[in-house]
Each structure stands twice: as C-alpha cells, then as structure tokens.
Amino acid sequence: MTHTNEHNSEQSKADARDAVTANGYTKKWWKEAVVYQIYPRSFKDSNADGIGDLRGIASQLDYIQNLGVDVVWLSPMYDSPNADNGYDIRDYRKVMSEFGTMADFDELLEAVKARGMKMILDLVVNHTSDDHFWFVESRKAKDNPYRDYYLWREGKDGKEPNDWVSYFSGSAWKKDDATGEYYLHLFAEKQPDLNWDNQTVREEVYDVMRFWLDKGIDGFRMDVIPFISKDPNFPDFPDDYDGDYGRVYASGAKLHDYVQEMNREVLSKYDVMTVGEAEGVTLAEIPLLVDERRDELNMVFQFDVVKLDRESWRWKSWTLPGLKAIYTRFERGLDKHCWNALFLSNHDNPRVVSRFGDDSPPYRMASAKLLAMMLLTLKGTPFIYQGDELGMTNYPFTNIAEFDDIQVKNAWQAEVLTDQVEADDYIINLRRTSRDHARTPMQWDASDNAGFTLAAKAWLAVNPNYKEINAVQALNDQDSIYNFFKQLIQLRKETPALIYGDYVDLDPQHPTIFVFTRTLEADKYLVLLNFSNDDTTYKLPVNMRIEQLLISNLREQDKPSLFINLKGWEASLYKFNS
Ligand code: TEU
Ligand code: CA
C-alpha cells in the first residue's frame, strides 16, 4: 500500500478508537488535561537542608490535587552536580541525592497515581553533565569507545571549530586538554551536547525513556529537543544570521528522523503525552513536530511568548496586540491535526503576574486572576507553573550576589566584568527578566522561610512578601487567586468548547482589551480581559446575545447588551448565543 492509503487505514482505525469533536479534533486525555509544573528544588523541603525534595512534594499532594490539575510535570530530579540545577544530568537512572532516593520517587509516583493524577518527567537528552560516565570516558582519548557519544572537533586556525555561542555566554566550544580537541556545549561547559548521529547514543536514550516509562510515568517534557540534530560539518553562523542562535541550532536535517524513530521505538508503545520545548522553532515549523499524522510529539512550547518582552536578559516593551497576535497565529497555523501547549511562565521566566499583570498591591489579585482566565480559556493544554496559583511575584533583587542562575553569573563575567555592560543596567534588566524570579521557594505559610524549610536558610532567598502571599492564606480565602484557578479548572473540565472550541480574537488591535470567543457548535463563550488599571467601556458585537456570566474576578451576575463597562484588570467569561 502507498504511504497515503496506509495512513488512511491507520487514521480510520485511530478515528474508530478516538472520538472526533464536531470541529474535527481527535479527542485525547492530554488535550483535556491541565498540567502543573513543579521545580522540585523550590517546592517543599522535608528534611531541613534548605533544598526542596521528593518527600516534600509528596507532603503537598492534597494542595495540588485540590487545585484540580490532572498532570504534574517534575523538572529534572535525576542525579546531577547542579551546574544548571539538574538540567545537567550525571546519571539518568538515579535520583539526585538532595531530592531523595528512588524509593522516594516510587512512593511519590504511586501517591500521585492513587489520587487519579498523572506524572510526566523532564527528558534532557540534548546534553548531559560533564560528570556523566559517558563524558568522563569520552574525554579520555580520541579512540575511547565513548568518544563519539559527544561532538568533538579539531580547532580551526588555533581557534574554536566555528563561531557558535553558548546560551550561557562565550563560545559553544570548549578545548579539552587531554586530547587538545574541542567539544560542543550549547549551554554550560558542564553540559556537553550528545551526538545524536551516533545510533548507540539514541539507543541509550531510548533505554533511559523505557526505564522511567516502565515505572508508570505518563510522558515527557523534552528539553530543547529541536537542537538534537547538528550539521556534522559545523559551518559558521549563516551570512544572514540575525543574532537568534536558537534558530540556527534548531531543526537540523535529521531532527524529524530522530523524533520519529524515538516515537516508533518507544513512545508509540505507551499511552503517554509528550511536549517539546521548541526554542528556535518558528510557528510554521511546529506542525512538523506535532501533526498527529507524523507520529512525532503531541505538542510543543513555542517561544514567541518567551521572546515577546525580552532578548536574553534585556527587557523590551511589549504590547497587548503583540501578545494577542501569538494566539491568532496558533489558530491559523495549527490545523485540527495539531495541538498546542499553553504557558505564560515556567522555571526559565519571570513570575507571570509581574510580567504580564500588575504586581502592585491594588492590582495583583485581579491581574493574577485575569492571567489565570487567559491561560485556562485559550486553546491548548494549559501548563500552570508552581506558585502562579498564589500570585507569587518577582523577587526584589538588588545585587549580583543574590542570583543563583548560571546564565546570570556567566553573563556577569562575560559582559559586565569586561565593561561591555553597566552593572546597574544589567541588574535593572534582571529585575524583570531573570529565571531566578521563578525559582524562589514556594510560599506555604507565614512562618519562617514561608514554611518552605525548617532550615535557617533556604537555598535561594524567600520573597519577603510571603506573609501576605502564601498557600494557607489562599486556601482560607474563597476569593483567593488559588480558588479562582480552581473554579476555572473545574469550569474548563465541564466545558468542551473551552478545550476544543474554535478561537476568534474579536478585536486584535485593541490596545488594552483582550476579547475572544471559543465556540463548539451551539456552545459559545466570550472572554473579556482588561489588561489595564483603567475602567473601560467596551462595545459588544451587535448580534451577540449574552446568556449568562459564568465566572468573573470583579463582576456580579449581569446580562450586558451592546456596551459593557470593564473595571481595571477585570476578567469575565460569559456564555452567549447569536
Ligand atoms: O531551556 C532552554 C532555553 O532555551 C532556555 O535556556 C531559555 O532560552 C533561556 O533560559 C532564556 O530564557 C532549557 C531548560 O528549560 C533550562 O532551564 C535549561 O537551562 C536549558 O534548557 C539547558 O538544559
Ligand atoms: Ca530537602
């Protein structure tokens, strides 16, 4: 049979197995799920060493389950020297000692599943730690059996093999004394890139995946997966290079061969969800990774929302039309065979309420709830980052010594200490862009260290606003951001149109109002978000008949027609018909 026929018969079998929505989506559990990302180091410390751990997570499962999420995603908890807080793995089959033991992991997984939730892990296989056994061997000698697990090259004219740069400053190549050759590291020097052209490496990775999948996990978030295929000739940046090195590193010639092989060899044998971190991938290229007929990944984190208001550590102004345009691009660029992951924050980005809302006391609650409604009513699988359900804010950093992030420290060395950037300029920008904002300890209560640890000090400073912003306060306040998230998650679960419904932005150019519809046959919903402090009167479409206010952060039940007056940071969701 030709590929197409084979596909059709496969597709018809798939259709028979999976119901299809009225507007053409194959129904899947991971399209209907809400995911909660946990950064274990900062979530909860159970043994008073100041560092979060697996037993700490296990102690807070009521809190997570009560929110109503379906899946938890753990950032890496594997054995690591923590050059990049676990994104530098030393042993894929061992739990990081600071986080606990494999028994702790097994108990946590069992407890998560016992509560009807699922767990996905972070698959970091573009690179390992330089302490990984494979690299320790590989660097010993050019003829070492592990040499080709990594990407070694001779220098050129006494310099690095090409002009590529690291995400963490400096060249992407490090000269190794033992053999005089250079190895590639797109991130830290302690994060050497694996050689995916080596079939043995790919098989090692697939074995690691099976090890965790056979324990019963429900899938993976895949760290910079678009980077795994490199041009073995390592040409310099192209002549039209615009400084966006992610675009150059991503989508190499064999990327899809390798992801399809990974799917064939491993993923297809389990009922799992996969989400790729698609740094460097344009919207036009996303279907190549997520079209269900290509058997690669289920969805990706596309980085337009990451790059909207910053270039690396430097903040830049953004507009609401610019943010809204991203979601219209998704609606138009991804057909019914594709799906999207929705995120507004994670462990690499500042706190969402400080970034897209207003974290000053008068507006923090309302704007955090508005952002919750945006995340939970747009189209795609929503990923909530730990603490955003409390409206946790950026940290008031004032000097470089307060930062932990290797990306921050390396750039300080490379750009500030070399007088290329003013120290004040750097710190002022980091106060808006640093990854460390998202890594300050979870704020559980008003006790010392926000109840995160009984140690004298946490591994990273606790935000001083923890007495006002913490989980105990939120759980006891029916109007808290946490409870608003909870209501929205419940509403989303009960409303297929909010999951699968078509998306239309009704006013893309409005400077402060985000107004869109989600419709699935006769079920029609209107979302109104006022991204400003100012009360704003908004004219509704003439043929729109409001039926019922379903949820709002600031408004009582009403049935506006023609005009609606939106309070500052008001977020309201209506059912309508027309
Ligand atoms: O992030 C990849 C990535 O692109 C980020 O480094 C991001 O672009 C940068 O932090 C600026 O925001 C993944 C992980 O999420 C990150 O934590 C790791 O540091 C990185 O890969 C290397 O594993
Ligand atoms: Ca601990």
Q: How far is CA 251 from CA 166, 235, 259, 264, 294, in A?
A: 17, 15, 11, 19, 15
279 touches ligand 1 (CB under 6 Å): yes
Under the banding of pLDDT at 50, 70 and 90, the label for residue 2 is very low
Ligand 1 pocket residue status of 84, Cβ below 6 Å: yes
Pairing of strands 219-222, 273-278: parallel
Distance 347 CA to ligand 1 centre (A): 9
Q: Is 223 a catalytic residue?
A: yes
Separation of 37 CA from ligand 1 center, angstroms?
A: 15
CB atoms within 10 A of CB 408: 22
Q: What is the pLDDT of residue 578?
A: 82
pLDDT tens digits, residue range 311-361?
Answer: 999 999 999 999 999 999 999 999 999 999 999 999 999 999 999 999 999
For 414-462, write each residue's pLDDT tens digit. 999 999 999 999 999 999 999 999 999 999 999 999 999 999 999 999 9
- Residue 78: name the closest of 203, 246, 220, 271 by CA: 220
User: What is the percent of the chain with per-residue pLDDT over 70, rounded to a whole number?
Assistant: 97
Give the model confidence (pLDDT) of 381-401 as tens digits: 999 999 999 999 999 999 999
Mean pLDDT confidence for 52-59: 99
Nearest CA, atom 6, ligand 1? 167
Q: Is 167 in the pocket of ligand 1 (CB under 6 A)?
A: yes
Mean confidence (pLDDT) of the chain? 96
> What's the CA-to-centroid distance between 365 and ligand 2, angstroms?
31
99 lines ligand 1 (CB under 6 A): no
CB of 41 sitting under 6 A from ligand 1: no
| Orientation of helix 255-265 relative to helix 199-213, angle to 10° | 40
Query: Phi and psi dihedrals of 181, rounded to 5?
Result: -95, 165
Predicted confidence at residue 16, as pLDDT, reads 55
* Rounded CA separation 474/394 (Å): 18
CA of 529 to the centre of ligand 1 (A): 30
pLDDT tens-place string over residues 474-516 = 999 999 999 999 999 999 999 999 999 999 999 999 999 999 9
Nearest to 366 by CA among 526, 572, 571, 555: 571
Helix (H) or strand (E) holding 262: helix 255-265
For 419-458, give one letter per residue: b (16+ CB within 10 A) or e: eebeeeebbebbbbbbbbbbbbbbbbbeeebbbbbeeeeb
Whether ligand 1 lies within 6 angstroms of the CB of 87 is answered as yes
Q: Whole-angstrom Cα distance, residue 204 to residue 201?
A: 5
pLDDT digits (tens, 9 = 90+) for 516-544: 999 999 999 999 999 999 999 999 998 89
In Å, how far are 74, 103, 119, 303 from 106, measured between CA atoms? 13, 5, 11, 33
Q: Is the pLDDT score of 6 beyond 80?
A: no
277 annotated active-site:
yes
Look at strands 502-505 and 523-530 and give their pairing: unpaired
d(CA 29, CA 276): 17
Residue with the nearest Cα to atom 8 of ligand 1?
Answer: 279
From ligand 2's centre to the CA of 331, what distance in Å? 43
> What distance in Å separates the CA atoms of residue 549 and residue 564, rounded to the nearest whole number?
12
Does pLDDT of 9 surpass 80? no
Q: Which of 223, 388, 436, 570 is catalytic?
A: 223
Of 88, 304, 311, 348, the residue with max ligand 1 atoms within 8 A of its CB, to mutate for a pocket test, comes to 348
Give tens-digit pLDDT for 11-35: 445 545 679 999 999 999 999 999 9
pTM of the model: 0.96
Give the H or E element holding residue 301.
strand 299-302
Q: Which of 277, 279, 309, 436 is catalytic?
A: 277
Which residue among 224, 312, 404 is best mutated to probe the pocket of ligand 1, counting the most ligand atoms within 8 A of its Cβ?
Answer: 224
Task: Indicate the DSSP class of residue 308.
Answer: S
407 Cβ closer than 6 Å to some ligand 1 atom: yes
Partnered with residue 520 across adjacent β-strands are: 523
Q: Residue 558: what pLDDT? A: 87
Q: How confident is the model at residue 1 (pLDDT cuts 50, 70, 90)?
A: very low
Q: Is 217 exposed, middle or buried (0-12, 13-18, 19+ CB in 10 A)?
A: buried
Euclidean distance between the first and final Cα of the chain, in Å?
A: 47
Query: What's the confidence (pLDDT) of residue 18?
Result: 79
Long-range pairs for 8-12: beta carbons < 8 A, 24 or more residues apart: 11/293
CA distances from 567 to 58, 79, 532, 571, 573 (A): 40, 49, 9, 9, 14
pLDDT at 10: 52
